[in-house]
Structure 1
Amino acid sequence: MQHLILLHGALGSKDYFKPLAAKLEHSFQVHTFNFSGHGGRPFSDTAFSIPFFSEQIAEYMQETGIEQANIFGYSMGGYAAMYLAKHHPEKINKLITLATKFYWDEKTAAKEVKMLDGKTIQEKVPAFAAQLQQRHAPNDWLLLLEKTAQLLTGLGKQNTLNVEDYASITIPCMVLLGDRDKMVTLDETIAVYKQLPNAQLGVLPGTPHLFEQVNVELLKGMIEGFMKF
């Protein structure tokens, strides 16, 4: 069976892929792993960046003896996979992204960083604070917020991939977006889709940004359909 690597987003972990992985394991050799600082994986001395997370995908593949894999990347995971596809296309057979924010400027980054204030999260959404603490233990989830904020601020100052960069990514790609996603716009998703030479575009109905609210059965069908195409 072909290898399929599932990549989580910022503040996420490999654990929220368990339902999806269970549905896909009959069709693929499914792999998941945590990026640095996420899901209890120790923080690296290297600052968070898209190139850094892309390197961690390549490192995982090397450690597990995978020469080429299909990749599904959610949100930040999709962006890191796109960066890998641009610089090391030989490592990826097919790539699917979901809810990946491709457009960044200082105003956009500042808006997202504002939502990463640990004190505000503890005061206004304590249940989410407890979830983050549990998900990333024994790591300090407040430090994870800080490092993620630095990543987004950096993207705001200089986006890692510009729209024209996607024209050189020639592997088969499918770019997915939920129709109720309030973080990622349809316009930025279509702009990237139009630049990709070998791409499909899909919209998931009734789907917000949070992966936990995605219809796993629907997503499973879209992934399997694209991989067989």
Structure 2
Amino acid sequence: MKPTLLLLHGALGSAAQLEPLAQRLAADFEVHSFSFTGHGGRELHPEQFNMTHFAAEVSYFLAEHQLDNVHVFGYSMGGYAAILSAVSDPGRIRSITTLGTKFDWSPEVAAQEVQMLDAEKMQAKVPQFVAQLQRTHGEGNWQAVITSTAAMMQELGTAPALHELNLSALAIPVQVLVGDGDKTAGVEPSRQFAMYLPTASFDVLPNTPHPFERANLDDLAQRIRAFTQATATV
């Protein structure tokens, strides 16, 4: 029987974002994925658009599909939700690999990130990205996703859900990956937060910025395979 792997997308994305990675891993894993509330055309409820709810959605998904001993890959926000789910509801997740997950939230950091989430400026400066958001979330919904994502970041800045105390209590293996050119997650902040995790490994991917679409997916898939195989006997 193949091991089970759950793929979790990043902020402003959807499950479709991870389909190219899923295709590379389908021969080795029973691959699952879903879009978080408000993403990929799912109905958006502002009160549910936060990291606590997204982490709970991971737990709900695993329980609903009766999945246990699950390996998880989370890109960016998806990695944060995966770890928070494992912290909040331990038992079903076997291991976690994150890529480009931003851990170091503060009011100042959140303010910097939110500056880039101005719908009007985005339409003027990055119209192709806006068109992508419209395709992903719906032409009438993408601006609400932007606004809700900004609010979520501000909440994380004020009260980060992950911190040294709860990370240090997480016993499952975690592989923290970050690109050498990732200015969102940052190499040194990622390294520091990996040190809080008792059974974490950390690696920097060469020639890799933050956007998932620019990652070397063949290399990433191989790293996920190798990590899950190594944790099978831990």
Q: TM-score range by the shorter chain?
A: over 0.9
Residue in 1 that maps onto 2:74: 73
Runs of 4+ in 1 over 4 A off after TM superposition: none
Between the aligned partners of 2:22 and 2:221, the Cα distance in structure 1 is: 9
- Asked whether the equivalents of residues 47 and 147 of structure 1 are also in contact (C-alpha less than 8 Å), the reply is no
TM superposition score normalised by structure 2:
0.95
Q: Partner of 2:181: helix, strand, or coil?
A: coil
Q: Partner of 1:188: helix, strand, or coil?
A: helix
Shifted more, 135-144 versus 109-118: the winner is 135-144
Residue in 2 that maps onto 1:120: 121
Between the aligned partners of 1:39 and 1:68, the Cα distance in structure 2 is: 27
Between the aligned partners of 1:116 and 1:64, the Cα distance in structure 2 is: 34
- Asked whether the equivalents of residues 179 and 207 of structure 1 are also in contact (C-alpha less than 8 Å), the reply is yes
Residue 153 of structure 1 pairs with residue 160 of structure 2: no
Residue in 2 that maps onto 1:91: 92
- Asked whether the equivalents of residues 96 and 223 of structure 1 are also in contact (C-alpha less than 8 Å), the reply is yes
Q: Partner of 1:72: helix, strand, or coil?
A: strand
- Asked whether the equivalents of residues 187 and 204 of structure 2 are also in contact (C-alpha less than 8 Å), the reply is no
Between the aligned partners of 1:29 and 1:143, the Cα distance in structure 2 is: 33
Residue 25 of structure 1 pairs with residue 26 of structure 2: yes
Alpha-carbon deviation of 1:45?
A: 5.3
Between the aligned partners of 1:45 and 1:77, the Cα distance in structure 2 is: 18
Alpha-carbon deviation of 1:114?
A: 0.6
| Counterpart amino acid of residue 71 in structure 2 | N
Q: Partner of 2:47: helix, strand, or coil?
A: coil
Q: Partner of 2:73: helix, strand, or coil?
A: strand
Residue in 2 that maps onto 1:135: 136
Q: Partner of 1:222: helix, strand, or coil?
A: helix
Q: Partner of 2:168: helix, strand, or coil?
A: helix
Alpha-carbon deviation of 1:212?
A: 0.5
| Counterpart amino acid of residue 222 in structure 2 | G
Residue in 2 that maps onto 1:192: 193
Task: Flag structure 2 segments of 5+ consecutive residues without an equivalent.
Answer: none
Residue in 2 that maps onto 1:101: 102
Alpha-carbon deviation of 1:164?
A: 3.1
Residue in 2 that maps onto 1:60: 61
CA RMSD of aligned residues (A): 1.2
| Counterpart amino acid of residue 81 in structure 2 | A
Q: How many residues align?
A: 229
Residue in 2 that maps onto 1:221: 222
Between the aligned partners of 2:200 and 2:7, the Cα distance in structure 1 is: 19
Task: Describe the superposition over 1:181-208 as per-residue Cα deviations: whole angstroms up to 9, x where unpaired.
Answer: 0111222111111111111111111000
Task: Flag structure 1 segments of 5+ consecutive residues without an equivalent.
Answer: none
- Asked whether the equivalents of residues 94 and 171 of structure 1 are also in contact (C-alpha less than 8 Å), the reply is yes
